[in-house]
Amino acid sequence: MDQEDLKLSKKLIISYKKRLEKEILDRSMKLRMPQNKFEEIIHNNNELINLKKALENLETEIEPEPHSKV
């Protein structure tokens, strides 16, 4: 995978992670759950945990941009 593919993958994973967190929050609000309960759900959600791990892996694969010399 080239750097652009890695960056796009990272962007898509971040977007999906945010949508999933928002969905959990919205459903928790509808069910009138206490804030600490839905924070616990978000913290312990297996899919969110896997997304965080995938983002960490992508971070290690994305090389820093080389600095241009003038």
Tokens 């971040």 correspond to 14
At residue 3, does pLDDT exceed 90?
A: no
Are 11 and 52 in contact, with CB atoms under 8 Å apart? no
Higher per-residue pLDDT: 2 or 52: 52
Compute the residue count for the chain.
Answer: 70
pLDDT of residue 62: 81
Closest by Cα among 18, 25, 2, 26 to 51: 18
Gap between the Cα atoms of 47 and 6, Å rounded: 20
22-69 pLDDT, tens digit per residue, is 999 999 999 999 989 989 999 999 999 999 999 999 988 886 655 544
Higher per-residue pLDDT: 51 or 1: 51
pLDDT of residue 38: 86
